Amino acid sequence: MWKISLPPVRHWLFQRSAAFALSTLLTACGGGAGGNAPAGEQNNAPPPPSNAQCETSDNGSDSEQCGALFVGITDADGDFLQYQVAVVSLSLERADGAVVEVLPSANTVDFAQYVDVTELVTAATVPVGTYIGGEITLDYREADVRVEVAGEARAATVVDDGGAQVEQITLALTIDNRNQLVIAPGIPAMLTADFDLAASHTVDVSGAEPAVTLYPVLVAEVNAHEHKDFRIRGPLITVAEKENDYRIAVRPFYRSQGRFGGVDIETDSETTWEINGEAYVGAAGLAALAELEAGTATLAMGVYEGGSRVFRARAVLVGASVPGAELDAVEGHVVARSDNLLTVRGATLVRTDGALAFNQQVTVQLADTTVVRKPLKPFELLTTDDISIGQRIRILGEWENERGSLQAQSGRAHLLLTRLSATGGERVSDTLQVAALAFGGRDISLFDFSGTGDVPENDASPTAYQVSAAGLHLGAIDPGAPLSIRGYVAPYASAPVDFNALSVADFSDARARMLLSWQGEGDTGAFVSLDGAGLTLSADGAIGAAHHIRRGAHHTDLFTLDALPSIAPADAQRFSCGIYTLAVPGDDSRELLFFSDFGSFATELGDRLAGGAAVKLLHASGYFDDGDNRFSAIGLSVVLRRPTN
Is the CB of residue 501 less than 8 Å from the CB of residue 485?
yes
603: exposed, middle or buried (C-beta count within 10 Å: 0-12, 13-18, 19+)?
middle
Domains of the chain: 2-36+50-222 (no CATH), 229-321 (2.40.50.320), 328-415 (2.40.50), 418-509 (2.40.50.320), 512-641 (no CATH)
- The residues pairing with 420 across neighbouring beta strands, listed in sequence order, are 439, 485
Q: Would the pLDDT of 218 be above 70?
A: no
Alpha-carbon distance 215 to 212, whole Å? 10
Element (H, E) at 556: strand 554-557
270: Cβ contacts below 8 Å, ≥ 6 apart: 281, 282, 314
Q: Residues 418-440: pLDDT tens digits?
A: 999 999 888 888 999 999 999 98
Q: What is the pLDDT of residue 43?
A: 40
Long-range contacts, stretch 280-283, CB < 8 angstroms, 24+ apart:
280/378, 281/378, 281/379, 283/241, 283/244
Is the CB of residue 537 less than 8 Å from the CB of residue 420?
no
CA-based R_g, the chain, Å: 25
Is the CB of residue 509 less than 8 Å from the CB of residue 576?
no
Q: What is the pLDDT of residue 259?
A: 92
Is the CB of residue 9 less than 8 Å from the CB of residue 160?
no
Element (H, E) at 645: none
Alpha-carbon distance 399 to 330, whole Å? 9
Mean pLDDT of 549-569: 87
For 46-109, the three-class secondary structure string (H helix, E strand, C coil) is CCCCCCCCCCCCCCCCCCCCEEEEEEEEECCCCCEEEEEEEEEEEEEEECCCCEEECCCCCEEE
| Cα diameter, the chain | 75
384 by DSSP, 3-state: which? helix
Length of the chain equals 645
Alpha-carbon distance 313 to 272, whole Å? 8
- Read off the pLDDT band of 577 (50, 70, 90): low
Phi, psi of 244 (to 5 degrees): 60, 40
Q: What is the DSSP string of 161-219?
A: TTSPBP-EEEEEEEB-TTS-EEEBTTB-EEEEEEE-HHHHEEEE-SSSS-EEEE--EEE
Higher pLDDT, 168 or 224: 168
25 by DSSP, 3-state: which? strand
Alpha-carbon distance 543 to 313, whole Å? 47
627: exposed, middle or buried (C-beta count within 10 Å: 0-12, 13-18, 19+)?
exposed
Residue-averaged pLDDT of the chain: 83
- Read off the pLDDT band of 401 (50, 70, 90): confident
Phi, psi of 149 (to 5 degrees): -130, 115
Q: What is the DSSP string of 582-641?
A: EEEE-SSSEEEEEES-HHHHHHHHHHHHHTT-EEEEEEEEEEEETTTTEEEEEEEEEEEE
DSSP assignment letter at 35: -
Q: What is the pLDDT of residue 552?
A: 67
Q: Residues 259-314: pLDDT tens digits?
A: 999 999 999 999 999 999 999 999 999 999 999 999 999 999 999 887 788 899 99
Mean pLDDT of 242-258: 91
